Amino acid sequence: MASRKVLIGGGTGFIGGHLGDLLTSKGYNVLNVARMPATNNISWTKLEREGLPKRSLAVVNCAGQQFMDFTKSWTPGFKQNVQNSRVYTTKALAKAINTSNDKPKVFVVVTGVGAYEPSENATYDELSPTTGRDFFSRLTVEWEKAAHVDPPVRLVIIRSGAVIGRWGGMIKNMFLPFYLGLGGRIGSGKQYLPWIHIDDLTRLIQFSIENDAVTGVLNGVAPQVITNDDFTRSFARALKRPAFLPVPETMLNMLLHSERAMIMTKGQHVVPKRVLEYGFKYKYADIDDACKEVAHLLPKKHPLK
Ligand SMILES: NC(=O)c1ccc[n+]([C@@H]2O[C@H](COP(=O)([O-])OP(=O)(O)OC[C@H]3O[C@@H](n4cnc5c(N)ncnc54)[C@H](OP(=O)(O)O)[C@@H]3O)[C@@H](O)[C@H]2O)c1
């Protein structure tokens, strides 16, 4: 029988954990590469020493130090950690694939729409150039370069927008202020906010693993283009709360450092052209549906368990 083993770098995190749950529910065997030992985990050192586990069907990288960790200052050391945790983990997985005699079919790497320079006028599809001018764009260029694997292994790079899910990313950070009626748009609210629901991102990864035609860069965003103001209204409506307290851009720049704050204060108009061409069907194509799904204070029963 063909192997159903999938190795997930950062499989303990928000995206990686969801992906592991989805793939397990579909009959795959999931193994994580993580820094802490656990039943389904192997360490990065073991990966480097012993190479890719035998009979791996696919390898996915979802590892990366969270840069929106507000307890950490934006120091050169922290920036280095943000960078290394993405570039070195991707390099380690790519090397394990390239040196293996028992190659997987596909390597999927989740990067970000930060690859594209923030702009109010440009529209970015997967063929648009990445400029590498700001910190996140420069980081993504290097991160994606690290993903190089030799054919016949397919490489799929998913540039994800802000992931909408109750227990991670943007929603986890914003839930309490919005729930308390203290939410509001960021700055003018006119900046684009490329987004995707966690279920769609993990389904897109599964789609990339299972469809041999899928290769190259995919914009992991919903087809509906919204602004920060649209999101603010939608999330507040879903929670049945007001959201009248705008967060001034200058305050975020001061508290977080403008280089990091730009992830919220600026945005890109990103479209999933290739994703749609491949025929991927979104479960959450409308931000109102996505926001309704995450507008609950307490944990719901996991849909896959
Ligand atoms: N969430 C979003 O909205 C979003 C949007 C676009 C792109 N992304 C990208 O998707 C990836 C995963 O995001 P997430 O939201 O799932 O983050 P998360 O919940 O913080 O999970 C991050 C994962 O990375 C691992 N990790 C953290 N620091 C590491 C380090 N220094 N070295 C090696 N591994 C490290 C952690 O594993 P261990 O601690 O178990 O080792 C954890 O499993 C990140 O690269 C992020 O940039 C996320």
**What's the gap in Å between 65 CA and the centre of ligand 1?**
5
**What's the gap in Å between 253 CA and the centre of ligand 1?**
23
Q: Whose CA is nearest to atom 22 of ligand 1?
A: 13
User: What's the pLDDT score for residue 180?
Assistant: 96
Residues 68-113: pLDDT tens digits?
988 999 999 999 999 999 999 999 999 999 999 999 999 999 999 9
Tokens of 236: 């507040």
Containing 45, the helix (H) or strand (E) segment is helix 44-50
Main-chain phi, psi angles of 167, to 5 degrees: -110, 20
With a CB cutoff of 8 Å and minimum separation 6, the contacts of 139 are 82, 83, 86, 87, 114
Q: Which among 41, 62, 90 is the best mutation to test ligand 1's pocket, defined by most ligand atoms within 8 Å of the CB?
A: 62
Tell me: pLDDT of 1 over 70: no
Indicate the DSSP class of residue 303: T
Q: Using a pLDDT cut of 70, give the percent of the chain over it.
A: 98
Q: 212 near 151, Cβ under 8 Å?
A: no
Residues 36-79: pLDDT tens digits?
999 999 999 999 999 999 999 999 999 999 999 889 999 999 99
Q: How many CA atoms lie within 13 A of 240 on its CB side?
A: 2
User: What's the pLDDT score for residue 178?
Assistant: 96
Which residue, among 174, 231, 220, 224, has the nearest Cα to 198 in the 3D structure?
220
User: What's the pLDDT score for residue 216?
Assistant: 98
265 touches ligand 1 (CB under 6 Å): no
3-class state of residue 158 by DSSP: strand
**What's the gap in Å between 10 CA and the centre of ligand 1?**
6
Dist CA 116 CA 123 (whole Å): 10
User: What's the pLDDT score for residue 302?
Assistant: 63
Length of the chain: 305
12 touches ligand 1 (CB under 6 Å): yes
Q: Using a pLDDT cut of 90, give the percent of the chain over it.
A: 94
**What's the gap in Å between 266 CA and the centre of ligand 1?**
22
Tell me: pLDDT of 303 over 70: no
pLDDT band, residue 131 (cuts 50/70/90): confident
Residues 258-301: pLDDT tens digits?
999 999 999 999 999 999 999 999 999 999 999 999 999 888 86
User: What's the pLDDT score for residue 132?
Assistant: 85
Kindly tell me the burial class for residue 18, based on how many C-beta atoms sit within 10 Å of its own C-beta (0-12, 13-18, 19 or more).
buried
Cα 93–chain centre separation? 17
User: What's the pLDDT score for residue 6?
Assistant: 98
* β-pair partners for 270: 124
Average pLDDT over residues 178-186: 96
Within 110-248, residue ranges assigned H as helices are 135-145, 169-179, 198-210, 228-239
Average pLDDT over residues 135-149: 97
Dist CA 61 CA 144 (whole Å): 11
Q: What is the mean pLDDT of the chain?
A: 96
User: What's the pLDDT score for residue 11?
Assistant: 98
Dist CA 269 CA 134 (whole Å): 17
CATH superfamily, with its number, for domain 5-294: NAD(P)-binding Rossmann-like Domain (3.40.50.720)
224 touches ligand 1 (CB under 6 Å): no
Tokens of 235: 């999330």
**What's the gap in Å between 62 CA and the centre of ligand 1?**
6
Work out the number of other CB atoms within 10 angstroms of the CB of residue 37.
9
Would the CA dihedral through 20, 206, 224, 10 be positive or negative? positive
User: What's the pLDDT score for residue 179?
Assistant: 96
Tell me: pLDDT of 2 over 80: no
CA-to-CA dists, residue 45 to 34, 91, 293, angstroms: 10, 13, 38
User: What's the pLDDT score for residue 188?
Assistant: 96
Average pLDDT over residues 3-23: 97
Q: Which among 8, 65, 200 is the best mutation to test ligand 1's pocket, defined by most ligand atoms within 8 Å of the CB?
A: 65
Dist CA 80 CA 286 (whole Å): 36
